[in-house]
Chains A and B, each alone.
Chain A
Amino acid sequence: MACIEASGLRKAFGTTIALDGINLRVEEGRILGIIGPNGAGKTTALNAILGLTPYQGELRVLGRDPWAERDLLMRDVCFIADVAVLPRWMQVSQALDYVAGVHPRFDRAKAEGFLAKTTIKHTSKVRQLSKGMVAQLHLALVMAIDTRLLVLDEPTLGLDILFRKQFYDSLLNDYFDRSRTIVVTTHQVEELQHILTDLMFIDRGRIVLSCSMEEFESRYMEVTVNPDQVAAARALKPMYERQVFGRSLLLFDRGTNQNIDRPQLATIGEVRTPSIADLFVAVMGNQSGMAQGAAQ
């Protein structure tokens, strides 16, 4: 069974269309990164998946309709909406008590174990903790719940690089196993590249790219070309080109341009797999270019 299944998912706020007919299928055991510019509809999509907002179209999460059955769904789904949602008046021990009280799948000993690795005291109030510690606390609570789907919406926003690294490390080491599914949105794409199994770009309520990371690695190639080779490289129809320190970086997509391959590109320059961020810029740049072209 697919973990998340959506077809024709639509959501409009007045005249603004946040989700414009999204089709989506996320299998169990995947780590999907949803990446898009601000206002692309990422959070709206997650809110629909979590039953926080009504929508049009078909959507099933773990076989349930999230809007109709949020409370039942939340036994199997957890989410960290952002780092600042733990109530500031709450004591750490109260947070543990409460989640242990209402969540049938919460393992308190496990949460205590995660907390023991941090400097968070049980008697502290959330308002006394630093932003990074609040994120650690929230993660400790969430990781101690035996869920099937974890949704993270900008979970590391505003954290320093040490906390960010630690956050994803503990997520991978202490939480993720092949039967669980994680969906994450973030702007800090670089830190996710080696974690994700699937990638999705979303812009103006539409999916503009969706592929697995294996596909990503075999499909996209970035070539650093010396100035004398640029004309030959351009003849191979790159999808995007940028200049770095006087050298040209050309991005090729084997999906649309199948008569190129790695050895061939190696003759004109240095080939490597692009970063997600580079591909994102390329795809979004082409998008706006196309939009402008259509407007003219």
Chain B
Amino acid sequence: MNTPSNAMTESSIQSQGMARAARAMYWSIRRELWENRSIYFGPLAAAAVFLFGFVINMVAMRRRIGGSLLDPAQQHDLLATRYELSAALIMGTALIVGVFYSLDALYGERRDRGILFWKSLPVSDLTAVLSKLTIPLVILPLLSFAISLATQFIMLLLSSVILLGSGVNIAALWTEVSFFHVSLVLLYHLLTVHGLWYAPLYGWLLMVSASAPRAPFIWAFLPPFVICGVEKVAFNTSHFLALLQERLVGPGDAMAPHSAPKDFTATLIPEHFFSTPGLWTGLAVAAVFLFAAVRLRRYQGPI
């Protein structure tokens, strides 16, 4: 294979460049996971704690039932809420991990002077910032989905074993929980709300992380607080607060997976979610924050 390199077409050079960019991205994300082990240990710990509580609860439940039959509605309600709770706990933990991760992502590398090492390698600032954004927007939702799924499966197994012979219909347990539908809704919720709807929030945190001279936590949370206060005093309105609330709570009825528990597939209405103007303005704002974060990283050195 000693053909001269001029045989190389433009498209193959381009695809080589793409492959190189993808490689840099892949290793940058792995690097983040090496440095921040709370990304997976956080949700895992939440799951472990939840399972521990669940076992205690199941054992107590078995004692209480003591052979008498549980009425089906009560049984369904008890089991379903627990499964929702496990997912909520893991998701909440992932959210907290994501917030603290984003605040430290571009600040920590400046503080420990490591930025000089990262910048000595052929990885662009855009790749670096995007890899850091991928953690809260993609990696954490997918991880918390996988962990929730595993947790719920373990919960089912545990409750089957513990309640075996107690009079509870184990077979019904497995059908009642409707594993597949619930997990589909969960995945959808994670990817849309955590991945897309929250994008501007994480963009803001990353931008603050790239610019704060110290204490990024204060720089991230004080300005919104001050804006709310000033708006209230000056105009006696609270539009900004409402905006923040809407962003935090989610796009409301457009896709809330809990609103129609009877038929889950009916709540999976992407056309509804993707036509919410808030989603697109949010993504535009996220892009602005991201662009600023990339620019800032380019200018910033160690502190």
Binds B, one of A79-87, A198-206, A240-248: A79-87
A75 lies within 8 A of B299 (CB)? no
Q: Considering the complex, give the chain A residue whose CB is closest to the CB of B25.
A: A102
| Docked pose: A78 CA to B27 CA in angstroms | 19
Tell me the minimal C-beta distance from A41 to chain B in angstroms.
15
Given contacts A71-B123, A90-B34, A94-B34, contact A102 B117 (CB under 8 A): no
B120 interface residue (CB < 8 Å to A): yes
Q: Given known contacts A74-B122, A90-B34, A102-B27, is B112 in contact with A53 (CB within 8 Å)?
A: no
Min CB gap B8→A, angstroms:
15
- Known contacts A87-B114, A90-B34, A103 near B301 by CB under 8 Å: no
Encoded as 1 (CB less than 8 Å from any B CB) or 0, chain A from 84 to 118 comes to 11111111001001110111100000000000000
CB < 8 Å neighbour of A84 from B23, B34, B113, B301: B113
Cα A113 to Cα B27 in complex, Å, equals 23
Q: Does B35 contact A (CB under 8 A)?
A: yes
Q: How far is the CA of A134 from the CA of B122 in the complex (A)?
A: 21
Q: Within 8 Å CB of B121, what residues of A?
A: 74, 99, 102-103
A50 and B302 CA atoms in complex are apart in Å by 15
- What's the interface size class on B, roughly? 20 to 34
What chain B residues lie within 8 Å of A208 (beta carbons)?
A: none
Chain B residues with Cβ below 8 Å from A54 are: 299
Q: Does B214 contact A (CB under 8 A)?
A: no
Residue of B nearest to A84 (CB): B113
Residues of B close to A71: CB separation below 8 A = 122-125, 127
The residues in B between 1 and 53 inclusive whose CB is less than 8 angstroms from any CB of A are: 20, 23-24, 26-28, 30-31, 34-35
Contact residues in B for A94 (Cβ distance below 8 Å): 31, 34
**Residue interface bits B97-138, CB-to-A below 8 A is 1, else 0:** 000000000000100111111011111110100000000000
Flag if B23 contacts A101 (CB, 8 Å).
yes
- For A80, the chain B residues whose CB sits under 8 A away are 120
Interface string of A59-86 (1 = CB under 8 A from B): 0000000000011111100111110111
Q: Are A85 and B117 in contact (CB under 8 A)?
A: yes
Chain A residues within an 8 Å CB radius of B113: 81-82, 84-85
Q: How far is the CB of B276 from chain A (nearest CB, A)?
A: 36
Rounded to whole angstroms, the CA-CA distance of A75 and B125 in the bound complex is 15
Q: Do B120 and A79 touch (CB < 8 A)?
A: yes
- A52: interface (CB < 8 Å): yes
Give the residue name and chain of the B residue nearest to A78 (CB): B120
- Using Cβ atoms and an 8 Å threshold, which residues of chain A touch B119? 50, 52, 70, 74
**CB within 8 A of B27: which of A79, A87, A88, A101?**
A101
CA of A188 to CA of B124, assembled, Å: 33
| A193 on interface, CB distance cutoff 8 Å | no
| Residue numbers in A under 8 Å from B112 (CB-CB) | 87-88
Q: How far is the CB of A48 from chain B (nearest CB, A)?
A: 12
In the assembled complex, 28 residue pairs joining A and B whose CB atoms fall closer than 8 Å, in A order, are A52-B116, A52-B301, A54-B299, A70-B124, A70-B125, A74-B120, A74-B122, A79-B120, A82-B116, A84-B113, A85-B114, A85-B117, A85-B302, A87-B109, A88-B112, A88-B114, A89-B34, A91-B34, A94-B31, A97-B30, A98-B27, A98-B31, A101-B30, A102-B24, A102-B121, A102-B122, A103-B122, A104-B20
Sample of 15 more A-B contacts, CB < 8 Å, known A82-B113, A85-B117? A52-B116, A54-B299, A70-B124, A74-B121, A74-B123, A78-B120, A79-B116, A81-B113, A85-B113, A85-B116, A101-B26, A102-B24, A102-B27, A102-B122, A103-B122
Interface residues of A (CB under 8 A from B): 47, 50, 52-54, 70-75, 78-82, 84-91, 94, 97-99, 101-104, 138
Which 5 residue pairs spanning A and B have beta carbons closest together?
A101-B27, A71-B124, A81-B116, A87-B114, A74-B122
